[in-house]
């Protein structure tokens, strides 16, 4: 982003924010030099269409675990959607599916029985990562629309095949970073494009956890055994190992089936980042970390720090991004996502955006003036006062604005599924298509590649390939 473009967008933001009528503050200090205000974001309205029985989208769930249940419960809140089938490799989850969604739904341990059914319009794929590509492609080829949980891929070379098949079939594929279509992301994008933070300088993302559950030590049901768990199918194309319940129920802990903290957590941040600033992704990554505490047999780190380099692009200046995850954070846990620019920063969540704008002080203070005589200090001060007399002082207010979702907001997860089903009906463009999904996943997987190689790695965000 060139400097003159940044100045133009900054003036646009100031005009819209401080001279327009769109922003109404509860504070009388909005036009003062410093302000603090809270704003309610505009609520989304959804068509109140009533669907006839034969107009419902028949949905099936493949992978009825934790995320699959959350996904399905959210999907069923969207009008005109009906769950007709569920698949999982553990029979206890099939029992749970009937308990949640009715005894009449079809259940199976073989996803092919779902893909082959002609009455199913769309599927949610919430399996371990190493099955995403295979099931997505099979579902697309069978004429199904696909909502595939993030990350879309487990390995770099899988993405282009998914993109190819999706284009050939013309069916919809939405990648499931559930906050993507949220009010928070939408507001942050609007603010960024209006120059709210000036030129982006860095992204700071962190996720701290302090629980066994947060570190993926999920409970293992006492009835799990070779009869109730199809372990061989679970392994798929992964290396063959003896039956082991820990690997099945805590698959995120193993690089054979998952993608570590990068694929679970980084990918959400990349999805938001790329959406907000209109970026295709980074060109280089350097990762470090280790297995510090959760030494339970896992082969992925529980502490990770990764640095990314973003090149200059049409929509942003060159900048750096820092991603940090700690699964043994003694502070009790927490997280954050900050876009830092030359004139402010945004802290972005699905339901809120906190915008802080500051004034860059270009005048010397007491620290650097102490070496000069009183007379010289006066001359220097007068010179700086003259130089910066007309810059920023007349048109730049500084302070904090918190944009919040309205009380009736249905949430980013709902918005993402609503967008998906609108796409299935041909009414709206998908917000996170396979190309977008590959760019988010590819950037995330660079962290793993660098960590295991022990050196920086490069990525071509335009062609979406790992640079060897």
* Tokens linked to 194: 């209006």
- Number of structural domains the chain divides into: 2
Domain end point (choices 176, 199, 227): 176
Express each pLDDT in 138-147 by its tens digit.
999 999 999 9
**What is the mean predicted confidence (pLDDT) over 73-78?**
98
Could you say which DSSP state residue 65 is in? S
For the chain, the first-to-last Cα distance in angstroms comes to: 28
* Tokens linked to 154: 């487990």
The DSSP bridge pattern shows strands 303-310 and 319-326 to be antiparallel
Q: Which residues have a Cβ under 8 Å from the Cβ of 345 and sit 6 or more positions away?
A: 197, 338, 339, 355, 356
**What is the mean predicted confidence (pLDDT) over 384-404?**
77
Q: Residue written as tokens 């371990």?
A: 128
> Taking a C-beta distance cutoff of 8 angstroms, is the pair 62, 138 a contact?
no
Specify the pLDDT at position 49.
Answer: 78
Helix crossing, 434-453 with 267-277: angle to 10°? 130
| Residue 415 forms part of a structural domain | no
Domain end point (choices 110, 144, 176): 176
Tell whether 296 and 379 lie within a shared domain.
Answer: yes
Across the strands, what pairs with 326? 208, 303
Q: How far apart are CA 286 and CA 448, in angstroms?
A: 9
Tell whether 295 and 390 lie within a shared domain.
Answer: yes
Specify the pLDDT at position 468.
Answer: 78
Express each pLDDT in 233-259 by its tens digit.
999 999 999 999 999 999 999 999 999
Which segments within 183-283 are labelled E, that is strand? 200-208
**Band of pLDDT at residue 389, cut at 50, 70 and 90:** confident
Q: How far apart are CA 276 and CA 6, in angstroms?
A: 16
Tell whether 144 and 210 lie within a shared domain.
Answer: no
Q: How far apart are CA 286 and CA 319, in angstroms?
A: 15
Give the residue among 337, 353, 345 at the shortest CA–CA distance from 187: 353
CA 434 to chain centroid, in Å, comes to 14
Tell whether 212 and 136 lie within a shared domain.
Answer: no
Residue 286 — φ and ψ, nearest 5°?
Answer: -135, 120
Tell whether 203 and 329 lie within a shared domain.
Answer: yes
**What is the mean predicted confidence (pLDDT) over 424-441?**
96
* Tokens linked to 94: 């099939």
Specify the pLDDT at position 25.
Answer: 42
Specify the pLDDT at position 50.
Answer: 83
Q: Does residue 17 carry a pLDDT above 90?
A: no
159 vs 361, which has greater pLDDT? 159
| Residue 48 forms part of a structural domain | no
The DSSP bridge pattern shows strands 145-149 and 122-125 to be parallel
Specify the pLDDT at position 362.
Answer: 86
Across the strands, what pairs with 403? 39, 353
390 vs 331, which has greater pLDDT? 331
Q: Does residue 21 carry a pLDDT above 60?
A: no
84 vs 2, which has greater pLDDT? 84
Q: Does residue 34 carry a pLDDT above 70?
A: yes
Domain that holds residue 343: 3-42+181-407+434-467
Give the residue among 178, 174, 152 at the shortest CA–CA distance from 73: 178
Q: Model pTM? A: 0.91
Tell whether 254 and 378 lie within a shared domain.
Answer: yes
> Taking a C-beta distance cutoff of 8 angstroms, is the pair 371, 309 a contact?
no
Specify the pLDDT at position 10.
Answer: 58
Helix (H, G, I), strand (E, B) or coil at 167: helix
Domain end point (choices 176, 204, 235): 176
Q: Does residue 2 carry a pLDDT above 80?
A: no
User: pLDDT averaged over the chain?
Assistant: 92
Q: Does residue 380 carry a pLDDT above 50?
A: yes
Tell whether 156 and 262 lie within a shared domain.
Answer: no
Assign residue 169 the CATH number of its domain. 3.40.50.720
Q: How far apart are CA 189 and CA 18, in angstroms?
A: 18
Q: Does residue 394 carry a pLDDT above 70?
A: no
Share of the chain above pLDDT 90, in %: 84
**What is the mean predicted confidence (pLDDT) over 286-313?**
98
**What is the mean predicted confidence (pLDDT) over 406-417?**
96
| Residue 429 forms part of a structural domain | no
| Residue 462 forms part of a structural domain | yes
């Amino acid at each position: 982003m060139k400097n003159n473009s940044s100045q133009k967008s900054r003036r646009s933001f100031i005009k819209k924010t401080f001279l327009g009528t769109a922003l109404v503050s509860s504070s009388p200090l909005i036009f003062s030099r410093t302000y603090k205000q809270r704003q309610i974001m505009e609520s989304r309205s959804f068509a109140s269409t009533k669907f006839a029985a034969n107009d419902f989208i028949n949905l099936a769930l493949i992978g009825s675990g934790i995320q699959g249940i959350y996904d399905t419960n959210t999907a069923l809140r969207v009008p005109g959607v009906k769950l007709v089938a569920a698949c999982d490799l553990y029979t206890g989850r099939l029992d749970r599916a009937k308990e949640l969604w009715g005894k009449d739904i079809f259940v199976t341990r073989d996803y092919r029985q779902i893909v082959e059914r002609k009455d199913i319009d769309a599927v949610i794929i919430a399996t371990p990562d190493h099955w995403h590509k295979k099931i997505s492609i099979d579902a697309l080829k069978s004429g199904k629309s696909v909502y595939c949980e993030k990350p879309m891929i487990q390995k770099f070379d899988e993405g282009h095949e998914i993109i190819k098949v999706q284009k050939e079939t013309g069916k919809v594929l939405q990648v499931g970073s559930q906050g993507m279509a949220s009010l928070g992301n939408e507001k942050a994008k609007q603010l960024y494009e209006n120059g709210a933070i000036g030129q982006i300088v860095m992204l700071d993302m962190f996720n701290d956890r302090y629980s066994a559950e947060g570190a993926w030590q999920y409970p293992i049901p006492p009835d799990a055994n070779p009869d109730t768990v199809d372990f061989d199918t679970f392994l798929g194309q992964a290396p063959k190992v003896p039956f082991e319940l820990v690997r099945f129920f805590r698959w995120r802990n193993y690089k054979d089936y998952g993608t570590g903290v990068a694929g679970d957590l980084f990918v959400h941040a990349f999805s938001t980042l790329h959406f907000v600033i209109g970026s295709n992704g980074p060109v280089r990554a350097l990762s470090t970390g280790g297995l510090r505490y959760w030494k339970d047999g896992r082969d992925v780190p529980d502490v990770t720090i990764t640095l990314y380099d973003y090149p200059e692009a049409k929509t942003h200046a060159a900048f750096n991004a820092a991603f940090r995850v700690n699964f043994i954070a003694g502070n009790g846990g927490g997280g954050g996502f900050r876009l830092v620019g030359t004139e402010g920063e945004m802290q972005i969540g699905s339901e809120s955006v906190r915008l802080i704008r500051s004034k860059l002080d270009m005048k010397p203070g007491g620290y650097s003036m102490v070496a000069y005589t009183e007379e010289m200090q006066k001359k220097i001060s007068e010179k700086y006062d003259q130089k910066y007399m007309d810059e920023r002082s007349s048109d730049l207010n500084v302070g904090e604005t918190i944009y919040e979702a309205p009380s009736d907001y249905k949430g980013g997860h709902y918005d993402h599924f609503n967008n998906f089903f609108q796409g299935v009906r041909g009414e709206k463009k998908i917000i996170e298509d396979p190309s977008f999904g590959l760019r988010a996943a590819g950037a995330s997987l660079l962290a793993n590649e660098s960590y295991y190689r022990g050196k920086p790695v490069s990525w071509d965000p335009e062609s979406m390939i790992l640079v060897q």
